[in-house]
Structure 1
Amino acid sequence: MTKWIDAEQIKDQVSLVDLLTRLGHAPAYRSGKELFYRSMLREEKSPSLCVNENLGVWFDHGGANSSGIKGGNVIDFGLSYWHPITFPEVLEKIRNAMALPIQEITDADFREKRPRQEATRIPNYRIIGVRELGNHPAISRYLQSRGIWEQAQGRMKEIHYVIAAGPKQGREFFSAGWQNETGAWELRNRIGDRDFKSCLGRKAITFVPGSEDCLSVFEGYMDYLSWLRDNPEAVDSVIVLNSVNLIDSAIDKAATYARINAYFDRDKAGETAFQILQQALPHVQDRSLTYAGYNDYNEMLMSRPPLRLPWEESNIFDKVLATYRR
């Protein structure tokens, strides 16, 4: 008789949310079925580690940690959280944290093979409309507040979708969106006092074809549109990562370009992503000094005072009357 900690048992029975709670980590906020935590795998200010309760998986949108693991199941989290200890030691850590019993099995149990089932992810949404911008005032206000309303024309759509299952089944939602390379819709909107980010479908980079020689790479689509506002005549091809964890996909796409400019966030995740890009493609240029003093291009754009038309200038009537005074 042998004592054994079953990895399959841990994956089937241990809730990642419960494990995080027992380790002393609480979510910063919830978005649908996803919980967002301030990453405990690295230093960060904004919550970017996402946990899907239903699927039992996690993904760190903020970048790689010392283990190199960006997401996965509860055991993958343990391997990252307790890095660099061994796989059996991670199972023991999880078992202790969750107070799981140790199974006693015979040699015959080792010889029995459980049939493996392929994991399938069933979409929890249904797209009910893809419309041009300007139909929904809330989306229009959001894009105007980001300073990229004109640049978004023809480059973004209004995405209307309905939740297909769960507590919010039947509820309709809307967001501004654009497509990535897989045809999935990357979504952005504002809910209350925070920005909403999601993806309907498989996460991937977005590629905008242009010059065959010059490429500009951005972390986010809003940064790309902000740059386009300042560079309306630019003909560069463009890659938008949509997540710094997709930097490897960007490297594959960027390899053929003679000139590459990177406009990444001025934070640790952005710096790490740039270092990875530069290691693979040494000729890449860091253009983040363009918005020095700000985290990203869009933040710099939003900080600018709005342009006023002549008749919108403050005290305009007093100034006009002053010209008639004798």
Structure 2
Amino acid sequence: MKRITTTDAKQIDLVDYLESLGFYPDTRVSRNQEYWYLSPLPGRNENSPSFKVDRRKGLWYDHGVGKGGSIIDFCMQYHRCGITDALNKLQDFLSFHRSPVQNLTVPVSAPFLDKEKKIRVVSIGSIVSPALITYLEQRKIPLEIAREYCREVQYELNTRKYYAIGFGNDAGGYELRNAYFKGSVAPKSVSFLNNRAEEISVFEGFFDFQTYAAIQKTAITNTNILVLNSLAFLEKARPVMEQHTSIYLYLDRDNAGQKCTTQLVKENSKYKDHSLLYEGYADLNEWLTRQNLSLHKQGLEKNEPEEIARPAQKRGMGLGR
């Protein structure tokens, strides 16, 4: 496939691209070819849609920040990158969404269809696909950890079939990830793993949680786990978090994550910023993938509070649903 040009990129349907990232329009206010969203831009947290896409023109405008442009401009804003990286990401989107599912042997379970979102889950089973196992290796997540908390999800999007690592949430939806795709199956919600602990560890995404699980195998039963799956759920999750005696925050080290962490720590002494452990990296998983796991374990045990690093109690972990 030839390298994508700016002209090619601008032909990509922006609504489809937003859908691949897990963002869907508000049908109450969207009409004709104008689609309204809660802003997907980093750092934006709103209750009413202010992000408009004109599908006919292939343009977007965020009324909350006064910015807009083409799909390339959006990609640069969303991924916080330059035009070359933006085109590469759009190239990956085109490449993946033109590729059929291959070598999938997972038994088909009862399918369900979200007609509005166009994503149809075909099957859910154990992670077996070589491509997904390779992807986990690239993220340095042991297969046994991924199989404990995730499933392999085969799904259809706009009549094409794909498969991804799926992480379930409390509403019955899934976060979907593979080497080329980051999206979700509605409904979108948080994932709470209730270990009947007095403290809770909070992660922005499930790969960061699995990174923690990979490093802290012996201590993970000492804390409840909350995976937000989106910073947009942070405020709604506060009542659950604040039922605990201590709240350990492992949010991303980007502007949005750091702003939320700083505010929470300032407002309530229960909140503890543990993102300093991976200072200089985007998130906990990037910290792991760029360094040796044994060094991470030493650093984590050295810098974590005693109650996180102590030997695990013999309690099972289950989904709090």
Class of the TM-score when normalised by the shorter of the 2 chains: 0.5 to 0.7
Partner of 1:43: none
In the aligned structure 1, how far is the partner of 2:162 from the partner of 2:34?
21
Partner of 1:181: 170
Partner of 1:23: none
Alpha-carbon shift at residue 151 of structure 1 (Å): 1.6
Partner of 1:298: 285
Pair 1:155 & 2:155 matched: no
- Aligned to 1:239, what secondary structure does the other structure show? strand
Q: 1:132 aligns with which of 119, 126, 134?
A: 126
Q: 1:285 aligns with which of 251, 263, 272?
A: 272
- Aligned to 1:80, what secondary structure does the other structure show? coil
Q: 1:143 aligns with which of 119, 136, 139?
A: 136
Look up the equivalent residue of 2:203 and give its one-letter code.
F
Partner of 2:319: none
Q: Between Structure 1 and Structure 2, whose CA radius of gyration is higher?
A: 1
The root-mean-square deviation of aligned C-alpha atoms, in Å, is: 3.4
- Aligned to 2:188, what secondary structure does the other structure show? coil
Call closer, same or farther: CA 1:284–1:299 in 2, change over 3 Å: same
Call closer, same or farther: CA 1:122–1:250 in 2, change over 3 Å: same
- Aligned to 1:56, what secondary structure does the other structure show? strand
Look up the equivalent residue of 1:201 and give its one-letter code.
A
Partner of 1:33: 16
Partner of 1:200: 185
Look up the equivalent residue of 2:139 and give its one-letter code.
R
Contact 2:242/2:270 (<8 A) preserved = no
Call closer, same or farther: CA 1:161–1:227 in 2, change over 3 Å: same
Contact 1:217/1:263 (<8 A) preserved = yes
In the aligned structure 1, how far is the partner of 2:252 from the partner of 2:11?
22
Alpha-carbon shift at residue 293 of structure 1 (Å): 2.1
TM-score (norm 1): 0.60
- Aligned to 1:256, what secondary structure does the other structure show? coil
Contact 2:251/2:275 (<8 A) preserved = yes
Partner of 2:75: none
Contact 2:51/2:64 (<8 A) preserved = no
Partner of 1:255: 242
Contact 1:216/1:261 (<8 A) preserved = yes
In the aligned structure 2, how far is the partner of 1:249 from the partner of 1:230?
29
Identity fraction in percent: 24
Map 1:31-180 to 2 at 5 A. Answer: 33-35=16-18, 56-65=35-44, 68=46, 71-72=49-50, 74=52, 79-82=63-66, 122-134=116-128, 136-149=129-142, 150-163=144-157, 168=158, 170-180=159-169
Deviations 1:47-99 (A, max 9, x none): x896759771234345444x956745639x6641359xxxxxxxxxxxxxxxx
Deviations 1:192-223 (A, max 9, x none): xxxx2111112211111114311000111101
Contact 2:196/2:224 (<8 A) preserved = yes
In the aligned structure 2, how far is the partner of 1:131 from the partner of 1:74?
37
Partner of 1:224: 209
Call closer, same or farther: CA 1:250–1:57 in 2, change over 3 Å: same
Partner of 2:179: 190
Partner of 1:324: none
Call closer, same or farther: CA 1:177–1:230 in 2, change over 3 Å: same
Look up the equivalent residue of 1:215 and give its one-letter code.
I
Partner of 1:105: none
Call closer, same or farther: CA 1:260–1:153 in 2, change over 3 Å: same
Look up the equivalent residue of 1:58 and give its one-letter code.
Y
Unpaired runs of at least 5, structure 2: 1-8, 54-60, 68-113, 295-321
Look up the equivalent residue of 2:35 and give its one-letter code.
G
In the aligned structure 1, how far is the partner of 2:170 from the partner of 2:156?
23
Contact 2:215/2:293 (<8 A) preserved = no
- Aligned to 2:226, what secondary structure does the other structure show? strand
Alpha-carbon shift at residue 27 of structure 1 (Å): 7.3
May I ask how many residue pairs the two structures share in their alignment?
A: 224
Contact 2:38/2:46 (<8 A) preserved = no
TM-score (norm 2): 0.61
In the aligned structure 2, how far is the partner of 1:205 from the partner of 1:252?
13
Alpha-carbon shift at residue 229 of structure 1 (Å): 1.3
